[in-house]
A and B are shown apart, each in its own frame.
Chain A
């Protein structure tokens, strides 16, 4: 079946936001302090709000009667199109914040560009979400600097977190055929072109955080086409268990 690049663009954006939002929600009640607990929950809720917009849009474009909830709760891991970075486990607080910083910095550049695309359905959501995403990027960069330039222990935890997450960064900027068609259709952004600005932004934080930019490793990729790490299945099991057990439940 030939995939609709406009629908797929909305789906990829929605899946990234949904999966990262779900990951952040796992911190509820477990964060190091009550203030950080709320801070992480707020980030998660912002992302789940974005997911509702984009998945709702994907469902509308598809026109098969699937709404945001159906797309979130009744697809299997092979149907999810999120990047591998966002599904990585929370690990410790350093790993969560590093993942957030690597993603939010990308998301900010992406949405800044997407706010100018021709299709208002995409441009308007991007423009609205930008205020949230800028805060996410700033907050997570702040933590990266504090932990990187903190104690020996916090610095080492940041080095370990980067060691785990760095190989998932190139996937963010990969362009496949669907992405190129989405650019032509006036909904997508040339993600590869965002990389220099991304590198400039994260290198500045590396320097302030007294962290060394990791050497490039073998890139892991495939999330956009449903080839996920083992972690996504577990996340989906938790997220989808209730709606699948009680499909018509209301509250």
Chain B
């Protein structure tokens, strides 16, 4: 039965103000039941206050084989980090 149901990716918000984070996946015939299943599988120990589900097939991902060209060029661009400014002492919380 479960193999006939599509797979849904589950994102849980741990508490108000935080991001939804990927928690795992569930099988379910539709989104409404996927939310119920996600609730029963991933929030049994008070892990969350909000749930998103999205069909796994609706996620577009980068190609792992193209990871080199996708991500490695950023490696030596250290000047993209904002670490070259001298901050006056008066500026706090940066």
* B1 & A142 in contact (Cβ 8 Å cutoff): no
Residues in A with CB closer than 8 Å to B44 are 38, 42
| Distance to closest chain A CB from B47 (angstroms) | 14
Residues in B20-34 with C-beta less than 8 Å from chain A? 26-29, 32-33
* A32 & B1 in contact (Cβ 8 Å cutoff): yes
- B41 contacts the other chain (CB 8 A): yes
- In the bound complex, how far is the Cα of B44 from the Cα of A139, in angstroms? 16
* A42 & B40 in contact (Cβ 8 Å cutoff): yes
- In the bound complex, how far is the Cα of B41 from the Cα of A239, in angstroms? 25
* A35 & B32 in contact (Cβ 8 Å cutoff): no
Among residues of A, the one whose C-beta sits closest to the C-beta of B29 is: A146
- B36 contacts the other chain (CB 8 A): yes
Residues in B with CB closer than 8 Å to A35 are 2, 26-28, 37, 40-41
- A201 contacts the other chain (CB 8 A): no
Q: Mark A140-171, 1 if CB is under 8 A from B, else 0.
A: 00100010000000000000000000000000
- In the bound complex, how far is the Cα of B44 from the Cα of A35, in angstroms? 12
- A25 contacts the other chain (CB 8 A): no
Residues in A49-88 with C-beta less than 8 Å from chain B? none
- In the bound complex, how far is the Cα of B28 from the Cα of A39, in angstroms? 12
Residues in B with CB closer than 8 Å to A245 are none
Q: Mark A3-35, 1 if CB is under 8 A from B, else 0.
A: 000000000000000000000000000001111
Residues in A with CB closer than 8 Å to B40 are 35, 38-39, 42
Among residues of A, the one whose C-beta sits closest to the C-beta of B42 is: A38
Could you list some 28 contacts between A and B, CB below 8 A?
Answer: A32-B1, A32-B2, A33-B1, A33-B2, A33-B5, A33-B27, A34-B41, A35-B2, A35-B26, A35-B27, A35-B37, A35-B40, A35-B41, A36-B37, A38-B37, A38-B40, A38-B41, A38-B44, A39-B36, A39-B37, A39-B40, A42-B40, A42-B44, A139-B36, A142-B32, A142-B33, A142-B36, A146-B29
What would 7 more interface pairs be, CB under 8 Å, given A32-B1, A32-B2, A36-B37?
Answer: A33-B27, A34-B2, A38-B37, A38-B41, A139-B36, A142-B32, A142-B33
